[in-house]
Amino acid sequence: MKNLVEYPIPNLPEKTLPRVVIIGGGFAGLKLARSLKGKPFQVILLDKNNFHQFQPLFYQVATAGLEPSAISFPLRKIFHNTKNVSFRMAEVSRFDSEIKRVYTDAGYVDYDYLVLGLGADSNYFGSQTIEKYSSPMKSVSEALYIRNKIISNYERAINRAKMEDRKALMNVVIVGGGPTGVELAGAMAELRNSVLPRDYPELSFENMKVVLIEAGPSLLAAMSDEARAKAEEYLEKLGVDLRMNTRVKDYDGRSVHLEGQDPIETETLLWAAGVKPNQIQGLAESSYAPNGRILVDKFNEVFDHPGVFALGDNCLLADEEYPKGHPQVAQVALQQASNLAKNLVRATKGQDQEPFKYKDLGSMATIGKHLAVVDLPFVKFQGILAWMTWLFVHLMAILGVKNKLFIFFDWAWSYLSFDPSLRLLIKPRYVRESERKELIEQK
Amino acid sequence: MKNLVEYPIPNLPEKTLPRVVIIGGGFAGLKLARSLKGKPFQVILLDKNNFHQFQPLFYQVATAGLEPSAISFPLRKIFHNTKNVSFRMAEVSRFDSEIKRVYTDAGYVDYDYLVLGLGADSNYFGSQTIEKYSSPMKSVSEALYIRNKIISNYERAINRAKMEDRKALMNVVIVGGGPTGVELAGAMAELRNSVLPRDYPELSFENMKVVLIEAGPSLLAAMSDEARAKAEEYLEKLGVDLRMNTRVKDYDGRSVHLEGQDPIETETLLWAAGVKPNQIQGLAESSYAPNGRILVDKFNEVFDHPGVFALGDNCLLADEEYPKGHPQVAQVALQQASNLAKNLVRATKGQDQEPFKYKDLGSMATIGKHLAVVDLPFVKFQGILAWMTWLFVHLMAILGVKNKLFIFFDWAWSYLSFDPSLRLLIKPRYVRESERKELIEQK
């Protein structure tokens, strides 16, 4: 975290309307900013990246199916021609609710309404070694890192004379049986079955294991029994080694140690086992639930902090239907943002606020190249039709006509050719030491 | 450079045919390997990257027009189903022509024929400060680095309160009036004129200078008078500040110091002023011309090194027509590779070798969005038709149907929308210190 700077963020538009400062350009923050287009507010959107990331497709970046740019959307471009929304790339350190001010590495900004859409990061449940050696996938950079790591492991494996020495480089172990883990395992198995053997005819891919580890008794715990059963069946058909009721004890970068089972050799442990909310300085300890989520009322307003709201993964809104809070999924974030936008506008008209009510639109997960499981409110189905539904829903959710088209072409091409073409190991180049240091400090 | 390893590269195919080891998967090396497909040789292609890079379009990666993957082609994929060609990602340190052995960081490999297609790197003409602070563009990583640098400079500029402090971040200075410099300058000017002002409405882009510096009296020295005149006219229309007969004295990362002119403030100095051949240990000093190119005979064979060949930018082949050697362009590399492939096959049949004869197919450069200058052997033309010719020739030269299609869609989209969408600042993520070190050591 950089030092606080004691001047206002330069070049912001003059404040003529009530100012809504949104921290985070994820599903919640972006949706809110878009919903406030042309409304009587001045919106300042802050994010440490200059793009929105479409999380549901990170696994395709990690498995060489899509380019990072296909699922990353420049925030400035989204708000071209939108006079009341300004974007600023900045890292936020804390806010002061007494004087209504947010501090960032680019200066401070004063707000009338503050909205926290901070999202969540990987949860290693306290294990420092797992945090150190495993690969998380909570950003497009992390997904790209996984892709590069896997490709470079194969380039290294081929230079080992003994099969024994290649095992740890070839095996891939995924921890976490939610949609991310399931989708990663399916895509990795497809790579092993049809892509990698053609790239590395010198290696024997029967020796490559794709292992999916889940601590609970089944995959996709939030989905229907049918979806769970089919997901397991599909993954097993693809040759994924499923380990239910299995806990990871430790990982040293080379072997995954399990409770009561033999260790698995791998240099690639993909960690999708859980999330913890991102935090910001400025709230009392009592504002947080024990799991780190910010406690909000039915209007997403933080208790005892009038004018401060939290949305999506980093908040906990308990109601009758969801006494322990809502699931940390994109739909909740989007709907909360929508509701808050309406409430902010209602307030300007002196109308009553509407409490948030989650409408569960269902959930889905894709497995491999042409199968998926789909739970909709009134119908559940699996297989190729489910996969087409998954394709359609995700294409529609992607921002921008160009991205939709390009992803569609990309998918169609991969489907027809069985050969994604993104197996490039492009290493970053640092021209000088000081820049390398700058990058490290930025982290 | 890593230490030599004293074992053979593992997992190479057994040697049953005369072995051709090719170092470098650039235009020359790749063309040669492709030309030897199915011929009675065992080909081992070595490159430090696992992909071929299409240099003529680096400038589009640097100016957010194309993704790196659109112009990078996985070498393994190119040789799917080619039994007599093996690729290995390895850094070559030296060779020993006495025992016909090449040493790499993955082990050594013995050859019957050795082909050096090492290419060329940026030439800073001895200036350490320019090397340290300027940005070269001789690889796809370097091009991507330039893109990220420019975008991050704008994100920084917007956080500076005073116009004075923004100048160095906004100005772009390009050194070198060859095709690369001209194409970069045109694309940068287009960004300034139509893209950046919409992204950063808070900044005034009249204040952004795009300067193109050339030491000689005109741009595109190798092209016709008409092409040179039109290129200057087009660039001036786009608002590029052209400085001919201008020499860069020094650069401190903030101001470019010129001979007899005021310095120009910029944090972005793009260096396209010259190249120097890449070298390898194993040749006597007498094998090199004073400019570092390897002296070869009319069959591209290195003098006094039977069985060792050099192709393309890193060699110097003098004949009656080109007494000082051929131009360092893709066409020469491709034609030399083609000729060598034929000669290698001829040798197996006891036929005579053919000396290399360069057929100049012409040259071209594009300027901005829809103009170009083209010199063909029998006709020279400029303008929109030239631009279409440029498009067609480059699309045809791109490897693979998918890449052709995607680049075509990308260009069509940018052309129609005036808005490239790749303005993402995706920073690499390092999970741990040791990997960061590894990366640094790899350089």
Residues in chain B with CB shorter than 8 Å from the CB of A399 are none
Question: For residue B43, what are the contacts with CB-CB under 8 A and spacing of at least 6?
Answer: B19, B20, B22, B33, B36, B84, B85, B86
Residue B81 tokens read as 């189903």
Range B128-273 has CATH code 3.50.50.100:
yes
Give dist(CA B76, CA A155) in Å, integer. Answer: 11
CB contact under 8 A, A421 and B413: no
CB contact under 8 A, A427 and B419: no
Instruction: Tell me the mean pLDDT in the region A258-274.
Output: 96
For residue A117, the model assigns a pLDDT of: 98
Q: What is the DSSP string of A200-251?
A: -TTS-GGG--EEEE-SSSSSSTTS-HHHHHHHHHHHHHTT-EEE-S--EEEE
Give dist(CA B320, CA B295) in Å, integer. Answer: 15
Alpha carbon of B200: minimum distance to chain A alpha carbons (Å): 8
For residue A426, the model assigns a pLDDT of: 66
For residue B410, the model assigns a pLDDT of: 76
Residues in chain A with CB shorter than 8 Å from the CB of B68 are 424, 426
Give the residues across from B92 on adjacent strands.
B104
CB contact under 8 A, B76 and A200: yes
| Residue A2 in this model has a pLDDT that exceeds 60 | no
For residue B4, the model assigns a pLDDT of: 58
CB contact under 8 A, B88 and A159: yes
Residues in chain A with CB shorter than 8 Å from the CB of B7 are 161
Give dist(CA B152, CA B169) in Å, integer. Answer: 9
**Mean pLDDT over each residue of chain B, to the nearest integer:** 91
Question: For residue A379, what are the contacts with CB-CB under 8 A and spacing of at least 6?
Answer: none
Residue A209 tokens read as 């294991």
Alpha carbon of A31: minimum distance to chain B alpha carbons (Å): 19
Alpha carbon of B116: minimum distance to chain A alpha carbons (Å): 22
Alpha carbon of A390: minimum distance to chain B alpha carbons (Å): 24
CB contact under 8 A, A421 and B402: yes
Give dist(CA A24, CA A91) in Å, integer. Answer: 10
CB-nearest to A49 from B159, B403, B425 is B425
CB contact under 8 A, A88 and B424: no
Q: What is the largest CA-CA distance in chain A?
A: 75
A–B interface: beta-carbon pairs under 8 A: 180
Alpha carbon of B425: minimum distance to chain A alpha carbons (Å): 6
CB-nearest to A158 from B11, B72, B442 is B11
Instruction: Select from B6, B11, B67, B194 the residue whose CB has the most chain A CBs within 10 Å, as the one to mutate to test that interface.
Output: B11
Question: What SS3 state is found at A95?
Answer: strand
- Could you read off the pLDDT of B162-207 as tens digits, one per residue? 988 899 999 999 999 999 999 999 999 999 998 899 999 989 898 8
For residue B81, the model assigns a pLDDT of: 87
Residues in chain B with CB shorter than 8 Å from the CB of A413 are 402
- Helix H, strand E, coil C: the string for chain B is CCCCCCCECCCCCCCCCCEEEEECCCHHHHHHHHHCCCCCCEEEEEECCCEEECHHHHHHHHCCCCCHHHHEEEHHHHCCCCCCEEEEECCEEEEECCCCEEEEECEEEECCEEEECCCEEECCCCCHHHHHHCEECCCHHHHHHHHHHHHHHHHHHCCCCCHHHHHHHHCEEEECCCHHHHHHHHHHHHHHHHHHHHHCCCCCHHHCCEEEECCCCCCCCCCCHHHHHHHHHHHHHCCCEEECCCCEEEECCCEEEECCEEEEECCCEEECCCEEECCCECECHHHECCCCCEEECCCCEECCCCCEEECHHHEEECCCCCCCCCCCCHHHHHHHHHHHHHHHHHHHCCCCCCCCCCCCCCEEEEECCCEEEEECCCCEEEEHHHHHHHHHHHHHHCCCHHHHHHHHHHHHHHHHHCCCCCCCCCCCCCCCHHHHHHHHHHC
Residues in chain A with CB shorter than 8 Å from the CB of B413 are 402
CB contact under 8 A, B200 and A76: yes
Angle between helices A179-190 and A225-237 (to 10 degrees): 20
Question: What SS3 state is found at A133?
Answer: helix
CB contact under 8 A, A76 and B199: yes
For residue A66, the model assigns a pLDDT of: 86
Residues in chain A with CB shorter than 8 Å from the CB of B140 are 426
Same fold flag, B19-122+276-348 and B128-273: yes
For residue B427, the model assigns a pLDDT of: 61
Q: Which amino acid is at A416?
A: L
CB contact under 8 A, A68 and B424: yes
For residue A406, the model assigns a pLDDT of: 81
Which of A10-24, A184-198, B61-75 is predicted least confidently? Answer: B61-75
For residue A434, the model assigns a pLDDT of: 41
Instruction: Select from A80, A270, A421 the residue whose CB has the most chain B CBs within 10 Å, as the one to mutate to test that interface.
Output: A421
- Could you read off the pLDDT of A339-380 as tens digits, one per residue? 999 999 999 999 999 999 999 999 999 998 889 999 999 999
Question: For residue B89, what are the contacts with CB-CB under 8 A and spacing of at least 6?
Answer: A155, A425, B46, B47, B48, B49, B50, B106
Alpha carbon of A382: minimum distance to chain B alpha carbons (Å): 31
Count the neighbouring beta carbons within 10 Å of the beta carbon of residue A435: 13
CB contact under 8 A, A141 and B426: yes
Chain B residue with minimum CA distance to A158:
B11
CB contact under 8 A, A160 and B76: no
What b/e readout covers A159-197, taking b as 16+ CB neighbours within 10 angstroms? bbeeeeebbbbbbbbbbbbbbbbbbbbbbbbbbbbebbe
Residues in chain A with CB shorter than 8 Å from the CB of B89 are 155, 425
Alpha carbon of A197: minimum distance to chain B alpha carbons (Å): 10
Alpha carbon of B209: minimum distance to chain A alpha carbons (Å): 21
CB contact under 8 A, A76 and B423: yes
- Is residue A435 very low, low, confident or very high in pLDDT (cuts 50, 70, 90)? very low
Q: Which fold has domain A19-121+276-348?
A: FAD/NAD(P)-binding domain (3.50.50)
Alpha carbon of B422: minimum distance to chain A alpha carbons (Å): 7
Query: Model's pTM, two decimal places?
Result: 0.92
Instruction: Tell me the mean pLDDT in the region A269-273.
Output: 97
Alpha carbon of B301: minimum distance to chain A alpha carbons (Å): 30
Q: CB–CB of B228/B219 below 8 Å?
A: yes
Give dist(CA A203, CA A162) in Å, integer. Answer: 11
Q: Choose among A223, A272, A337, A222: nearest CA to A56.
A: A272
For residue B421, the model assigns a pLDDT of: 59
Ordered by start, the domain boundaries in chain B are 19-122+276-348, 128-273
Pick left, alpha or beta for residue A167 (phi over 0 → left; psi -120 to 50 → alpha; otherwise beta): alpha
Query: Which long-range contacts (C-beta less than 8 Å, at least 24 apart) are formed by B352-355?
Result: B353/B299, B354/B299, B355/B298, B355/B299, B355/B319
The H or E element that residue A309 is part of is strand A308-310
Residue A367 tokens read as 């497995």
For residue B305, the model assigns a pLDDT of: 95
CB contact under 8 A, B159 and A429: no
Instruction: Tell me the mean pLDDT in the region A74-82.
Output: 91
Chain B residue with minimum CA distance to A403:
B421
| Residue A184 in this model has a pLDDT that exceeds 60 | yes
What's the distance, CA A203 to chain centroid? 33
CB contact under 8 A, A50 and B200: no
Structure letter (DSSP) for residue A316: E
Q: Choose among A341, A356, A305: nearest CA to A41.
A: A341
Give dist(CA A181, CA A250) in Å, integer. Answer: 18
CB contact under 8 A, B155 and A89: yes
What b/e readout covers B376-410, taking b as 16+ CB neighbours within 10 angstroms? eeeebbbeeebbebbbeebeeebbeebbbebbeeb
Q: Choose among B307, B299, B305: nearest CA to B286.
A: B305
For residue B422, the model assigns a pLDDT of: 66
Architecture of the domain spanning B19-122+276-348: 3-Layer(bba) Sandwich (3.50)
- Could you read off the pLDDT of A289-325 as tens digits, one per residue? 999 999 999 999 999 999 999 999 999 999 999 999 9
Instruction: Select from B427, B435, B439, B442 the residue whose CB has the most chain A CBs within 10 Å, as the one to mutate to test that interface.
Output: B427
Query: What ipTM was assigned to the predicted interfaces of this complex?
Result: 0.89
Instruction: Select from A7, A76, A129, A419 the residue whose CB has the most chain B CBs within 10 Å, as the one to mutate to test that interface.
Output: A76
Q: Which residues of chain B fall short of a pLDDT of 70? A: 1-5, 417-443
CB contact under 8 A, B145 and A431: yes
Q: CB–CB of A363/A226 below 8 Å?
A: no
Q: Which residue has the tokens 């912001």?
A: A12
Q: Choose among A102, A93, A138, A127: nearest CA to A12.
A: A102
CB-nearest to A427 from B155, B429, B439 is B439
